[in-house]
Amino acid sequence: MFWLLFGQLVMFTGVAALFPVAPLYVSRHGGGAVAVSLFVAGPLIANTLVQIPAGRLVDRIGRRPVLIGSRLLYSLFSIGLFVNLGPLWLLAVFRMLQGATGGAYVPAMMAALTDLSEPGQRGVRFSQMQACEMVGLLVGPALGGAVALWQVSGAFGVAGLLVLIGVIPLSRVPETRSAQHQARTKPRMRWWRERGIIVPGIGLLAIGTVFSMYDVVWPQYLAALGNDALVIGLSISLFAVPILLLANLGGRISDRSDRRKLVPAAMLVSAMCAFSYPLMRNLAAILAVGTVEAVAFVFLEPGLFAVIGDTAPEDERGRMMGIGGFFMFAGSAAGSAALGSLYGVDYHAPFWGGAGALAGGAVICALLLPRRLHRSSGEPGVPPKLPYREGEAV
């Protein structure tokens, strides 16, 4: 678990280094607003489309080959973007292939994390994974921006190098796919009939929609209030701090609480924060509300992925995590395109649309999200419940 988490911290730092640089990279090649949008959205779409096929591959050949192979390919395409030769359309293809390899990595990482976690502790583990990503979010954009002062394409070189370095700790992660599940004898889980898969998926769809909307709208919103790029960057970093500090506590609360109550409550808090942003003009108030939203966010993504991990049978964890990733990244693609474009029509619309998506997700989760399927192994006399039996879905 340590090597998996440490590898993710190093690699996500490299990936996050590209956040402030990608639009500048396209502009240096003479691309306009449409080219920038395609360059940013292309990898996200590729990431979404590859989730489910990659999840099936993870179940078929194992976690390690996809974990390591996808990261090596990401580094290779990063080199192509760093070399910076060729027409813009070819560089955009490299960028989409980056997104595809990143999408293949997600279900492998999530399945391995679930395999390595004890039932009743998965909320903590997914929260720790989120905390590692927050460290990357704090360090990566500043690193990418600093390298871009020397050369814009240098950020892609840094991303490829850090992802390649992250393969070293990943190589210490054992293969967690059990040998007894290599020969499949059971019918596949019908995930669309499983509340433990489809309902968290809908919740992840809402979360992805809102937070990709922020990627597009937040810089424009703060800039319109008279804030410069430094303040905008600091506001993003401040959002990451509570998530980093509260990761373990939030994970323990998620594991010990009824997620049918906890997750919807956190979604409603996030919805109220999203609704309130366009009503405020004071930066201190905006940052305070952002801190509240960050605390609520601690319970969302880790809790929903933990439900999927508890529900999925061992031999289908890759596919089920791919389905969860598909919902989340599909929401990200829709949020950045649909809600992000509404900012030019009415600056209230994307925030209120995101709040509506979260409120809808909260209602669905409150009504249909399964309660905890597992109790902690530390509770005497309480055997764990099996989420799946041969021939039926429970």
The 10s digit of each residue's pLDDT in 160-177 is 999 999 999 999 999 998
DSSP category for residue 389: E
3-state secondary structure of 46: helix
Please state, rounded to an integer, the average pLDDT across all residues of the chain: 87
Choice among 3-7, 115-119, 389-393 with the minimum mean pLDDT: 389-393
Cα–Cα dist 120/373, whole Å: 9
Q: Which domains does the chain have, with CATH numbers?
A: 1-176 (1.20.1250.20), 190-375 (1.20.1250.20)
3-state secondary structure of 382: coil
CB contact burial 98-117 (16+ within 10 A = b; e otherwise): bbbbbbbbbbbbbbbbbbbb
- Residue 386 confidence (pLDDT) above 60: no
Residue-level pLDDT at 390: 35
Residue-level pLDDT at 228: 77
Hey, which residues does 282 pair with through a beta bridge?
A: none
Instruction: For residue 373, name the pLDDT band (cuts at 50, 70, 90).
Output: low
Residue range 38-61, pLDDT digits in tens: 787 788 889 999 999 999 999 999
DSSP category for residue 370: -
C-alpha 393, offset from chain centre: 27
- Residue 297 confidence (pLDDT) above 50: yes
Ranked by mean pLDDT, which of 130-134, 140-144, 271-275 comes out on top? 271-275
Alpha carbon separation from 277 to 202, 297, 365 (Å, rounded): 24, 16, 24
Residue-level pLDDT at 158: 93
Instruction: For residue 180, name the pLDDT band (cuts at 50, 70, 90).
Output: low
Ranked by mean pLDDT, which of 22-26, 48-52, 219-223, 330-334 comes out on top? 48-52
CB count within 10 Å of CB 337 equals 16
Residue-level pLDDT at 33: 64
